[in-house]
Structure 1
Amino acid sequence: MAEWLYEAGIGENRAALVSRGVIWKARIELERTAPRHGAVLNARLTDRNTGKVALEAGGEALCDPLPKGITQGGALRVRIVREAIPEPGRAKLPKAVPAAPDDAPGDGLDLLGRIRASGVPVRQLRAHEADVLEEAGWSEVLEEAVTGDIGFPGGMLRLSPTPAMTLFDVDGSGPLEALSVAAAHAVARAIERHGIAGSIGIDFPTLANKAARQAVAEAIDAALPQPFERTTVNGFGFLQIVRRRTRPSLPELLRADPVGAAARAELRRIERLPPPPPATHMVSRRVANRLAQKPEWSAELARRIGGATAFVAPKE
């Protein structure tokens, strides 16, 4: 039986859809994520040429289309249809559309609200209980997201998020058609597992005949839940998928701030240690610096485990 496992962590909340002991979907929501998908917010137009609006709750978004007749500085109400997307050097602003006349202001669903709305049973985890999230392979999924290395029988995928699209490169041995079909199933599972959407490119081995390329496309159709659109596999082995994008994927979130991700993972590990809490805990210099910048994380850890832990880095 499938169930969502949910964990209210320090600095982030986590959820995994688990069935038969395997993680099929992994999701992380960072603290103070805003604006969320589905939020209805009051705003003011700041740049008519780009559609940029200033949100009353803080931050900016791009609204397209703009309401007819609105002028620079005019007030409007918008609905967030895509959250901000982290990118190297900058972040893509959230996307918005004009709200319907009867839409009341409100926040979009948080992670716990979304998984509850899925209709699948939700189990909320506690730190003193058995770590069923880890038993299902949580750390392995995070490592996939950070490194991009995803193994499957007979081959390996390399996942690479870029500003334009998320790319999968297929490598392996054996007959190329069988390898490509197996890779198609592995890509579909990775897309679901890591919450990848938007434009997705897959570079399969070059397949000489049309029937083999069609078999690969049909494998994608069979393994990846709708809705999505795709191209055929071209003569160079490339196939493109487009899925509606509402928030960042797991790889985008973790790669945008790897030090923060490592710090939050350390906090999770310490929270699950048997008592008494450690007086000191060794971490890398960068993680120690980040935790020093986020004293509220250490304070919350102390509250949860019943004692303060000092984070120390190796002496240089």
Structure 2
Amino acid sequence: MNGPLAERPPGEWIVEDGIGETRAALIEGERIVEARILVHGTLTAGTVLEARLVTRLPERDQGVVAWDGGEALLAPLPRAVTEGATLLVEITRPALPEPGKPKRARARPAVRSAEPGPAPALAETLDGMVRTAPPQGPDLLEDAGWSELLEEAATGRVAFADGWLTISPTPAMTLIDVDGECEPERLAVSGAAAAARATRRLDIGGSIGIDLPTVDDRRVRLTAAAAIDEALAQPFERTAVNGFGFVQIVRRRSRLSLPEAYAEDAVAAHARALVRKAERSRGRGERVLTAHPHVVARIERAGWVAEIERRVGATLALRGDGGLAISAGHVQARFQ
């Protein structure tokens, strides 16, 4: 590939401060190997705030803290803080969506020197080379497959050389099912590696279950486990691949994975993706954004139109089309 992507050294994070979200992708060679999306206005790991200890759960070394607009499970539980007292806490994970009632956010007591404030910017949390990309100029993320990445997150389907993965977020864990038409021994090894790569690429954390083909040969199961270790960056823990082809991985979880973000609110996720296309649209004159009415309504309600117009230097017209899927929106400039 020619152009800016080919000239960039491997292993560089590209960060975009978009409308409604901040995006980051680690690009090695010409492909995104890891991605993160932080939605603006949501509780983020690293936020420090003052909260009130509502309930002590000493037998679990935990407590429940609350503040105006939220609550979290606090661990470890400070011995000297009584119920009703206030303390500074640091958010370690936002609330997680679940049918019925979402899981509480998680927090820990803030260090003594901490002061209330927002989480560090996404770019400050990344290791290695980091470059901030403006909305104008070459689309470095798209050149590396950003749209493909979002399609994988939205559909939960990831293709690889020997088959495909089906990724399903559940309340207990994220399940990754490996399917294909080659011999089970080969699929077990290649599928394990593909599942590990997808775990990193789609920012999947917490408990992850990978269902590989059943293989009797213990040496093949060991090779599949080794493929996971090679493809997935530390830190993580995993079990052995059992006789039924199942292996469990546990990774640190400080935010929603990309598949979880689409599962929680697909309309909002597709709306933000379409807004990105609008702010990067090329051409002259008015932009016309056409999408499913639910997507259009979300963009209007979020108040993003004025910021899009400021970034592209042109007016934006929104048009709803009930015949479009929520993922099928598009943006057109009046003059190309």
Q: Same fold (TM over 0.5)?
A: yes
SS at match of 2:268: helix
Cα displacement (A) at 1:198: 0.8
Relative to structure 2, which stretch is displaced further, 38-47 or 6-15?
38-47
Pick from 157, 170, 190 the counterpart of residue 198 of structure 2: 190
- Bigger mean CA deviation after superposition, 70-79 or 168-177: 70-79
Q: Pick closer, same or farther for the CA change 1:315–1:224 going to 2, 3 Å.
A: closer
With normalisation by structure 1, the TM-score equals 0.91
Q: What is the identity, as a one-letter code, of the residue corresponding to 1:140?
A: E
Q: Answer with 301-310 or 17-26: which moved more.
A: 301-310
Query: Is 1:59 aligned to residue 74 of structure 2?
Result: no
3-state SS, counterpart of residue 266 of structure 1: helix
Match of 1:169 in 2: 177
Query: Please, which of 136, 140, 146 is the counterpart of residue 128 of structure 1?
Result: 136
Partner of 2:290: 282
Determine if the alignment matches structure 1 residue 25 to structure 2 residue 37.
Answer: no
Q: 1:202 maps to which residue?
A: 210
* DSSP-derived class of the 1:219 partner: helix
CA distance in 1, matches of 2:304, 2:260: 22
Selected match of 1:105 from 111, 116, 122: 116
Q: 5+ residue gaps in structure 1?
A: none
- The whole-number CA distance in structure 1 between the counterparts of 2:174 and 2:322 is 39
Instruction: Answer yes or no: is 1:257 the counterpart of 2:265.
Output: yes
- Match in the other structure for 1:96: 107
Is residue 9 from structure 1 mapped to residue 21 from structure 2 by the alignment?
A: no
RMSD between superposed Cα atoms in Å: 1.9
CA distance in 1, matches of 2:124, 2:262: 22
Partners of 2:247 and 2:187 in 1: CA distance: 15
Say which is worse superposed, 24-33 or 120-129, in terms of deviation.
120-129
- SS of the aligned residue for 2:111 comes to coil
1:301 aligns to 2:308 (yes or no): yes
Unaligned runs of 5+ in 2: 1-8, 324-336
After TM superposition, list the pairs within 5 Å mapping 1:33-48 onto structure 2.
Answer: 33-34=42-43, 36-48=44-56
The equivalent residue for 1:151 is 159
Distance in 2 (CA, whole Å) between partners of 1:170 and 1:209 is 18
Mean Cα deviation higher: 100-109 or 196-205:
100-109
Q: How many residues align?
A: 310
Secondary structure at the aligned position of 2:102 is classed as: strand
Distance 1:192 1:279 in 2: 35
Q: Distance in 2 between matches of 1:147 and 1:308?
A: 32
Kept after mapping to 1: 8 A contact 2:292/2:322: no
Runs (4+) of structure 1 moved beyond 4 Å?
Answer: none
Mark the CA change 1:280 to 1:102 in structure 2 (over 3 Å): closer, same or farther.
closer
CA drift at 1:70: 2.9
How far did residue 29 of structure 1 move?
0.9
Distance 2:136 2:205 in 1: 35
- The 1-side partners of 2:100 and 2:233 are apart by 33
In the aligned structure 2, how far is the partner of 1:250 from the partner of 1:162? 14
Per the alignment, residue 214 of structure 1 pairs with 222
Distance in 1 between the 2:49 and 2:18 partners? Answer: 27
Shift in Å, 1:90: 4.0
Q: Percent identity?
A: 48
Q: Aligned AA for 1:54?
A: A
Residues 88 and 256, structure 1, Cα contact 8 Å, conserved in 2:
no
Aligned 8 A contact 2:278 2:287 in 1: no
TM norm structure 2 = 0.86
SS in 1 for 2:286: coil
